[in-house]
Amino acid sequence: MKKAQIQSMESIVVLIIVTIMLVIGIIFFSNFQGQDSERMLDQERELNAVSVALQMINLEELRCSTATIRTERCVDKLKLNAFVGISNSNYDFYFDKFGNTNISIQLIHPKLEEEKIHIYSYTGNFTSASIHTFIPLTVFDPINNVRHFAIMEVRALS
């Protein structure tokens, strides 16, 4: 093999190595980009769940009030029971607020027979669910004057 041929072989090998490195780099990059967009979607869903939970706690239809003074982190049990029916019959209106989520309130202590109250359920199709968002709140039963420790669970679906 002549010296010139060896030199051109060297150049070709270097070119091949650089090309392989570039291809590996592109594969890595596109892989990370794909994972990133999935993570972004998950994060978006979680943020949505948190925002829905906060909206729900502050929803005028549910909040406890005594002599027009509103109580923080408190849901009136009578309003809550009434709201379950309203949210089903006005699904389109509440879909704009709560979107693809399932929202329920679980009474922890003191417990009742009916422990979990489903407030809003997304009726469309979904393939995956994000992690749940739990927010503690008080459910006030004005008839029996009992304040239940409860957990609002918001599940974002996609």
Q: In whole angstroms, what is the distance from residue 156 CA to residue 122 CA?
A: 9
Task: Take residue 11 and report the two structure tokens written for it.
Answer: 């150049």
Q: In whole angstroms, what is the distance from residue 132 CA to residue 46 CA?
A: 8
**Which three-class secondary structure state does DSSP give residue 153?**
strand
Q: In whole angstroms, what is the distance from residue 43 CA to residue 50 CA?
A: 11
Q: Which is nearer to other proteins, 43 or 66 (CB)?
A: 43
Task: Take residue 38 and report the two structure tokens written for it.
Answer: 């999935």
Q: Which is nearer to other proteins, 85 or 143 (CB)?
A: 143
User: Least Å distance between CB 42 and other proteins?
Assistant: 7
Q: Which is nearer to other proteins, 18 or 86 (CB)?
A: 18
User: Least Å distance between CB 92 and other proteins?
Assistant: 27
**Which three-class secondary structure state does DSSP give residue 26?**
helix
123 contacts 98 by C-beta, under 8 angstroms: no
Q: Which is nearer to other proteins, 88 or 138 (CB)?
A: 138
The DSSP output letter for 156 is E
User: Least Å distance between CB 148 and other proteins?
Assistant: 7
User: Least Å distance between CB 4 and other proteins?
Assistant: 14
Footprint of other proteins (CB under 8 A): 14, 17-18, 21, 25, 28-29, 32, 35-36, 39, 42-43, 46-47, 49-50, 53-54, 73-74, 108-110, 131, 133-138, 145-149, 151
